[in-house]
Amino acid sequence: MSQRYIPVGAPVLAGKEKEYVLDCLDSSWISSQGKYLDLFEESFAAFCGTRHALACSNGTVALHLALMAFDLSPGDEVIVPALTYVATANAVAYCGATPIFVDSEPLTGNINPALIEALITPRTRGIIAVHLYGHPADMDALAAIAKKHDLFLVEDAAEAHGALYRGRKAGSLSDVATFSFYGNKILTCGEGGMLTTDDDKLAAKIELLKGQGMDLQRRYWFSIVGYNYRLTNVAAAIGLAQLEMAEWHLAQHARIIDGYHELLKSCAGITWQQEQSWAKPAHWMFTFFLKKDDESMRDSIMRELLQDGVETRPVFYPLHTLPPYLPGHGTRPLPVCERLARTGINLPTWSGLTRDDIEYVSHHVTKVLARYDA
């Protein structure tokens, strides 16, 4: 085992995180009210250019809240990309509804809009777009389909804080967008989430649902079965400090991706996400794909990189191949995302990586690929 160890992701607390958290402790504002929650929400709405931003406990419950705000119910269907983190589909399942999985378009791995209309039935209620690894989905195409069929459109922007689609911010491109602030995301609170929307009615409904259903005017009056999906002021304090450094974090991620592109461009056996002309991605995580379609070779390459102290991740298993979603879905092959999943590797991408780290990773990737003639 190598002496050096480079994790695939890690939080970098380079701003006022400590100062703000200590302020929470000193003032004893540690629960789910306080100035950092207000500031975090206000600043995040400004960051995305939306009327509302509502903090919640994590990115998964942000999705659940968004779907509940549309009264998603058993029997309903929601169009979801197959190549995403499992939470996107789980939120649909929490509502008793059925995710209908769509294959990827090959260049970015994002949901392929051209495949959606054939999957729409009278039960279809909405579409969830995911900005995979920070590259925006083709939102205009998705919005046109949603409008034509009277469907809601949600953005799962958990991996895309600050990404731009045709000059517009991720989080402002749909009816409701959701974000995650998990420890390995571009901005983190440890655990945390946010919803953004321009719709006052949806915002009020989400506020009610996340606060146990307590009437916003009449304390301790519960008009619906709500949830405790609140964020703490302590987590919001960390989130606010991260958000103040958002441009720095995004610049670091861009620097790292540029470094990998430069240092790995002579590796003939790999490709990577192709940045579309209309996109300015947030570059959450650098991902490359082996041209040779051989999953066991991919897994061996990852094991060898770990021996060199380079942690990697496989690309998400497509959700229609996972046990909870296999029945009814597994029989329909989705060849593009299945291939991306078999051949894809995520490399370390987080704000604290130095140029030397990026050279170290790239050197070992090049060396291991050469050994496999890839």
Ligand X SMILES: *Cc1c(COP(=O)(O)O)cnc(C)c1O
Binding site for ligand X (CB under 6 A): 58-60, 84-85, 87-88, 130, 156, 158-159, 180, 182, 193
CB of 142 to ligand X, least distance (A): 15
Q: Which is nearer to ligand X, 34 or 134 (CB)?
A: 134
Q: Which is nearer to ligand X, 190 or 330 (CB)?
A: 190
Q: Which is nearer to ligand X, 84 or 124 (CB)?
A: 84
- Up-side HSE of residue 269: CA atoms within 13 Å toward CB? 19
| Rounded distance between C-alpha atoms, residue 303 and residue 233, angstroms | 40
| Rounded distance between C-alpha atoms, residue 100 and residue 314, angstroms | 23
CB of 58 to ligand X, least distance (A): 4
Alpha carbon of 280 to those of 66, 111, 161, 185: distances in Å? 25, 17, 11, 17
CB of 63 to ligand X, least distance (A): 6
Sheet containing 344-346: which strands, arranged edge to edge?
Answer: 270-272, 287-290, 344-346, 313-314
What amino acid is encoded at 88 in this protein? T
CB of 128 to ligand X, least distance (A): 9
Buried b (16+ CB within 10 A) or exposed e, 151-178: bbbbbbbbbbbbbbbeeebbbbbbbbbb
Q: Which is nearer to ligand X, 69 or 264 (CB)?
A: 69
Let me know: does 79 contact 119? Beta carbons within 8 Å. Answer: yes
Q: Which is nearer to ligand X, 158 or 177 (CB)?
A: 158
Cβ-closest position to ligand X: 59
Q: Which is nearer to ligand X, 77 or 159 (CB)?
A: 159
Which residue intervals of the chain are DSSP H helices? 17-27, 35-48, 59-69, 87-94, 139-148, 200-210, 233-244, 246-264, 295-307, 335-343, 355-371
Q: Which is nearer to ligand X, 59 or 318 (CB)?
A: 59
Residue 195, phi then psi, degrees to nearest 5: -115, 140
The separation between CA 278 and the C-alpha centre of its own chain, rounded to angstroms, equals 19
Residue 25, phi then psi, degrees to nearest 5: -65, -45
CB of 163 to ligand X, least distance (A): 12
CB of 174 to ligand X, least distance (A): 14
CB of 188 to ligand X, least distance (A): 9
